[in-house]
Structure 1
């Protein structure tokens, strides 16, 4: 039953990857925490590690099928990508050392604060008005954001899209472009986080709980999630739904709210 449930959730991660730029982190973390509840306090560590692998595959596939004209907006972003990867390596190492309980509550608090920020601060639902010539041209993301965004994203297992999508939205991109560009940025974060997870020793409770881990990654959960997600990504990238920009932004906030509620129920 867990595998069926995880595959069903994988369908949802495919939808969120295409529509919202979430490679699976925000959706995968709560469900893996629930599926691996027998691991006790270590379930959160396994969930963030498993989420990273799911994001590598989902975000990589989504990036590969994204039109080149959309990806062109990231030209000149190599310093940003490098700093995202460096921050992610540090964040992934930190989460292996931090107590699992505080990491879970940090996840919940971060997502909840993000929802409040998106609702109250101009630029996401209500685009900020910028004056001057060429004001409508989207601005590139500052490279210095890379290290802190990568560190927080890998530490919490969220992939970074919860930070990069609002940032690109406020930089002037429509939701459709901002969410598409979140996938290559997520890939830069998830790759080093996955590498760290693979070389980290499995948690001792896994043997008694009959959870099969590679490093800290639950391969059964990751496989089921990807089985559901990849076909959905392929279909939606080929035939993307047409969603009004403001409704798209509200959907993003609604998903974050639902994830916060799911994590509170699992806590």
Structure 2
């Protein structure tokens, strides 16, 4: 119960960042669990458990955040309908690939991918510049390749998709508020497919403790979800008021903090 209470406090922060930046699941949950999962989790499966739990938390937070953003008209449903199926396909592929990688390989892949996103976003000044809504709708081929890529990488690393989706949408002319609001429902197929994939993979590991189901650590799941119901509406209210250019800069700073946490 003490563990659930502590995880609930962290869950409030996860809910805020989930609604505010679209990445409260993977980018907060994975580093925290990697550092604080109990010794009862086999060392070879710590990263898998962190990712699996992260994906399970994302299901609830994505639903919750989407509802709050949709009520305020922040979700571009036309873009959602275009990318949704492609991301679903990529999610299934990413979940399949997860069984072929060790925990340490996933950790380094997570770090490397974040560093790439940070540097590419800084170099492309369109990400940190103020944007007046002028979205350039992608071609079918571009949407297919991007959507499948987002689903594959995000499910494999447990990052929910926003780290790829948001820079992509920004570079095509979407404001941060709408990019974040759109990243949350687009993260649902990644979260759902990934959760079941990691659940199934973990059930086959006999040495996993009773506090888990598959690669999902239950005390953290319950605590993070409970705290998320408090944090999500707070994050949405903050997002409505942030200037676009400041919004994007804060997003990049948080990505840098996450990289430092994972390296240490």
Q: Structure 1-normalised TM-score?
A: 0.87
CA contact (8 A) 2:20 2:236 kept: no
Please report how far the alpha carbon of residue 196 of structure 1 lies from its aligned counterpart in structure 2 after TM superposition: 1.7
CA contact (8 A) 2:177 2:240 kept: no
Please report how far the alpha carbon of residue 8 of structure 1 lies from its aligned counterpart in structure 2 after TM superposition: 2.4
Distance (Å, rounded) in 2 between the aligned partners of 1:59 and 1:232: 12
Distance (Å, rounded) in 1 between the aligned partners of 2:156 and 2:50: 11
Distance (Å, rounded) in 1 between the aligned partners of 2:10 and 2:133: 38
- Pairwise mapping of residues 69-84 of structure 1 onto structure 2 (< 5 A)? 69-71=73-75, 73-75=76-78, 77-84=80-87
CA contact (8 A) 2:18 2:235 kept: no
Q: 1:4 to 1:112 in 2, by over 3 A?
A: farther
Q: Could you say which residue in structure 1 is the equivalent of 2:15?
A: 14
Aligned length: 255
- Pairwise mapping of residues 25-174 of structure 1 onto structure 2 (< 5 A)? 25-36=26-37, 38=39, 39=41, 40-67=43-70, 69-71=73-75, 73-75=76-78, 77-126=80-129, 137-141=134-138, 142-144=142-144, 145-174=146-175
Q: Could you say which residue in structure 2 is the equivalent of 1:132?
A: none
Distance (Å, rounded) in 1 between the aligned partners of 2:219 and 2:32: 13
CA contact (8 A) 2:170 2:179 kept: yes
Unaligned runs of 5+ in 2: none
Q: Could you say which residue in structure 1 is the equivalent of 2:226?
A: 227
Distance (Å, rounded) in 2 between the aligned partners of 1:136 and 1:245: 11
Q: 1:15 to 1:100 in 2, by over 3 A?
A: same
Distance (Å, rounded) in 2 between the aligned partners of 1:239 and 1:27: 18
Distance (Å, rounded) in 2 between the aligned partners of 1:260 and 1:4: 26
Q: Could you say which residue in structure 2 is the equivalent of 1:254?
A: 253
| RMSD, aligned CA | 2.1
Unaligned runs of 5+ in 1: 129-134
Distance (Å, rounded) in 1 between the aligned partners of 2:164 and 2:19: 16
Q: 1:57 to 1:136 in 2, by over 3 A?
A: closer
Q: Structure 2-normalised TM-score?
A: 0.88
